[in-house]
Amino acid sequence: MYNSAEYSRYRGGLVEWTKLLIGVLLLSGTVFLLGQGYTPPGAAGEVFRNNLHRGIDATPLFYTGVKSLMPEE
Amino acid sequence: MSGREGLAALWKHEDWWAVWLGFGILVAAVVIAGFGFGIKTPKIQRWSTSPLDAFYGDVTVRVSDWPENLRSAGALRDVISPQTAERFRYSRTVRYQEGGRTVSESLGWKSRYRMEETDRDAIIGLATSQAHRDAITSLYRAAQTSRPTFGGLVVLLVTLCVGFALAVRLMGEKAKVFSVGYVLVFALAVLAYFIESQRAVQAYDLPYALWALVLGLLISNTIGTPKWLLSGAKTELFIKTGLVLLGAEILFGKIAALGSRGLLVAWIVTPCVVLFMYLFGTRVLKMASKTLVIIVAAATSVCGVSAAIATASAVKAKKDELTLAVGMTLIFTVLMMIGMPPFIRAIGMDEQVGGAWMGGTIDATGAVVAAGALLGDNAEVVAAVVKMIQNIMIGVLAFVVAVAWVTKVERDPSAPRPSAMEIWYRFPKFIVGFLAASLVFSFILIPAFGGGQAGVDAVERDVIGAVTKTCRSWLFCMAFVSIGLESNFRQLASQMAGGKPIVLYLVGQSFNLILTVLAAYLAFGGWLLDPIPMQ
């Protein structure tokens, strides 16, 4: 793989660092809100609620990452 | 890349280094398992409200027939104190076969917290047999010492750094400059994994690939990426080495155990969808980038992010093309995971057919299992089986696409037919390592570990589960951090090209949904074969 254009070179002025700080705060806020485990009402949130209740990890990308599909370590 | 460098290519080219590093890790994993050293690649643990929990392992004991109504965290919170319920867990592993599944169960405790007698007594109060009480007593004894993973993470950081620094040095770059940038890339990967490991984030299906990209993009699109940091962002080397390790996870012996019905859904529909999407993208939508078309097609029809990574590397795609395909697959995986189970239930579709439909169409494996679990045990079994068989197809797909790209797509039609040597020069060599790892593990290592299902279990538990799988995930996570660090939003936006990639995804996924539901009815719904009698 290769880049189609130049990467974003370092340009660390006060404005740029402020943008990074705002981004970090937004990301932290998002993760904090997600961590509260809010789910949409009705059918849209049914899978999320089931995952939370049963402690299901829905993130694995490949079958070997699904704990319940692999032999007990 | 040039294969014409002769033997020097073996230590000067990134593809070969991916093979050496990948096989170095695989050999180390086999030695660790063979001699019973009990070393595991450290990982970030699941945490809920206390972030430090992420850096401590669990202690576990085997159990059987744990009460059905006390298996979920939610149910445990109703009968023991929330604090004890937070630290205690029940888990089970399932061996899926065509006719059903066998389950093994375990109880665990977060080793960051010493189990008090009051905790033990509260849990013993839930036991329904003497065997349960004995298991809880063993757990209590094991839970008196903590098992932090900080040290293991430092060892992993240093070990991988030494291996990659050597490769970088022999490829003609400065190892010291690489190492400085690498440390921050690794730290960002730890942060991405840490976010993914939060319990609710896992339930929402927001994987490390997303957080790693976001963290990298956040830096590159605000202050920009300093050169020293970029030196440690060896995207291709991380991805290709990770792919060699992924090859070892593709065990052909599993197909026999999983059964032939899944093949009908996963292996007949999938190539049709890949071909349809490729033709639709290149001839109807007339998308300029054939590499983007094939990455989106692979991600949609095989297994999302893993397939996108493998295909992108096989066709030497642009990083922003991979980012775009991964972004789309992550979004639509969540939408399909939440949308399909209620729809299947609403139309009264049979559980097995519904499971096969979801297994063949939802991109990521974790999301397939989560969606199947909501519909019921039968749906979960069938969904997991179909998806696992589809996962195994990733190796065949990467190889076929790599060959097709070298011999057809990249070939100048006016030029003479390339010789076998020319094809070999241009062929991505890490694919050789990827396939070799799969073949060696499937046909040499499994027999060496006892053969049959016992051999598969031993290799999956002691080699893949303990070492290589987590190592591969770390490498992919660092690769996504690196891609983020090397990308900017303007480039990503330019890849959207009037929304054509989204149209391609939507049309391809619709075709996939139609074809898969037909195959699901044929294989599991009684149209061709009767439904499986479940145990």
pLDDT-based confidence at residue B420 (cuts at 50, 70, 90):
confident
pTM of the predicted protein model: 0.92
B278 has a pLDDT exceeding 90: yes
Interface residue B465 vs chain A (CB under 8 A): yes
CB contact under 8 A, B93 and A70: yes
Q: What is the pLDDT of residue A5?
A: 46
State pLDDT tens for residues A36-51. 999 999 988 999 999 9
Which of A:1-40 have CB within 8 Å of B? 1-5, 7-12, 16-17, 19-20, 23-24, 27, 31, 34-37
Tokens of B423: 């094809």
What pLDDT, on a 0 to 100 scale, did the predictor assign at position A65? Answer: 87
B464 and A CB contact within 8 Å: yes
Q: What are phi and psi of B419, to 5 degrees?
A: -75, 165
pLDDT tens digits along B79-138: 888 889 889 988 888 776 666 677 888 999 999 999 999 999 999 988 889 999 999 999
Q: Exposure string (b/e) for A10-42, b if CB count within 10 Å is 16 or more?
A: beeeeeeeeebeebeeebeeebeebbebebeee
Write down the H helix ranges in B362-468: 365-375, 377-404, 420-426, 430-440, 446-448, 452-458
**Taking the CB of residue B443, how many other CB atoms lie within 10 A of it?**
12
Contact list, A52 vs chain B (CB under 8 Å): 74, 199-200, 203
Distance CA B147, CA B141 (A): 14
The band of B45, judged by pLDDT with boundaries at 50, 70 and 90, is very high
Lowest-confidence pick of A18-27, B24-33, B135-144, B388-397: B388-397
Cα–Cα–Cα angle for B185, B188, B189, rounded to 5 degrees = 85
Residues of A in contact with B488 (CB under 8 A): 5, 7-8
Of B223, B317, B364, the CB nearest to A11: B223
Could you report the predicted ipTM of this complex, rounded to two decimals? 0.92
Q: Is the pLDDT score of B2 beyond 60?
A: no
Do the Cβ atoms of A69 and B371 come within 8 Å? no
- How high does pLDDT run on average in chain B? 90
Q: Contact B313/A34, CB-based, under 8 Å?
A: no
Please tell me if residue B323 touches chain A, with a CB cutoff of 8 Å: no
Among chain A residues, the shortest Cα distance to B369 is held by A58
pLDDT of residue B196: 97
What's the pLDDT score for residue B86? 85
Separation between Cα atoms, residue B408 and residue B194, nearest integer Å: 43
State the SS3 of B273-329. Answer: HHHHHHHHHHHHCCCCCHHHHHHHHHHHHCCHHHHHHHHHHHCCCEHHHHHHHHHHH
Q: Is B102 part of the contact surface with chain A (CB cutoff 8 Å)?
A: no
